[in-house]
Structure 1
Amino acid sequence: MLTHTEQPTVLIVEDEPAQREVLAYNLEAEGFRVAKAENGDEALMLVEEMAPDLIVLDWMLPSVSGIEVCRRLKTRNDTRAMPIIMLSARAEEVDRVRGLETGADDYVVKPYSVIELMARVRALLRRTRPASVGQTLEFEDIRLDPETHKVFRADQPLKLGPTEFRLLSTFMEKPGRVWSREQLLDRVWGRDIYVDTRTVDVHIGRLRKALCQYGGEDPVRTVRGAGYALG
């Protein structure tokens, strides 16, 4: 069973309250953390705050349309790889092509089968959050096994606390990506827990010490004014 902070986060962007709640109910039943937005502006703000693992995005939204939200996210380096499933009542091939060309990773026509949509969500997350489905992660000489909660560097077993393990898992799923302190707080501690951002720095320090306990260079990079990255 995944712990709360290991659960992938899915952002639902849907202006119809009934549809939004049905999606949220089914995603939570599947074990995902869920965030909800009812328009494009709110969606873009939440992406900034929490960096969700996947977005289920309705095409027809008030103010900023779903297709515009998708276009903006896919043109930014920090959100380009974020998987997006576009929902639309537009069944014409030209609309499907437009949605995919804008950058959507999948396109689902309304009305849709909830079971099929859940399968598509899981398929995309297997690609982008491998640790959440138990796949071993590797970066240079570091190996992390989420099933056994063991970490090795140059084949030497490392001792990591649970918070440091979750931090390393987050970094290793997206090497090179810069995470802000706020995004790490959300991913590692959870949105509903109040922790000071300085706590992140303390645990990054512990992670660095653990990773370098047998020597080797520190693989965690501090990006001034932005946060931290692996490699």
Structure 2
Amino acid sequence: MKFILAIFFSAIALNTCEKNSTEKAEETILYVNSSKVDCTGVGKMKCLQTQESVTLKPNDWKNFYGNIEGFEFEPGYIYKLAVKKEKLDPATVPADASTLKYSLVKVIEKNKDEKMRLDDTWALKSINNEAIDSETFQKQPILEIQLNKMKIFGNDGCNNMFGSIKSLNENNITFGALGGTKMACPNMEISSKYTSVLGKTKTYKIDDLQLYFYDADGNELLRFEKGGLK
């Protein structure tokens, strides 16, 4: 009788453990962005950007401070992953670590992120379809795009400038307010026009080594060239 009871209670305990294990782990969809970003945990570090969602939302990325067990990240690609998410016992996890453990089940999609072609330094070649002569400026007007920081830097031919990228997808881009230095130089009217129309940008196109910015009506505002620096 005691032997039968022992088997009975062992079976209940085993079933309970299996049930708890199942409750702790679930399979979910996780999107991973094409580049890591600066983030702060215990110290400065690089984080993945992820979305836990059935469908991808272009501007809804969140910093991911942990690791995905079994996943090898290659920059320049957007991933759709099936992952197992497991809740860990907080008593077994260090204070600065996540209580969620992610493990790769499979890579569902791996698509090249065409937006990454923007991430470069571009030389200004025309404003409102009018070619500019860089020799008339104190320095070559440029635009440096840093997608991992969602920032832009550069100069307008006279003053250094900086700003943020407010929104970005495969066709559209908008910028926040620009800041910069306040020097006086020749041809300031052209420099001012450059920064003014930059703020009106709504869409973009990359054609070979040329980058085009357009306004809301599809009018060309700016044209840049990759590798066109002097």
TM-score with structure 2 length normalisation?
A: 0.30
Write 1 or 2 for the structure with the bigger share of helix.
1
Structure with greater Cα Rg: 2
TM-score with structure 1 length normalisation?
A: 0.30
Write 1 or 2 for the structure with the bigger share of strand.
2
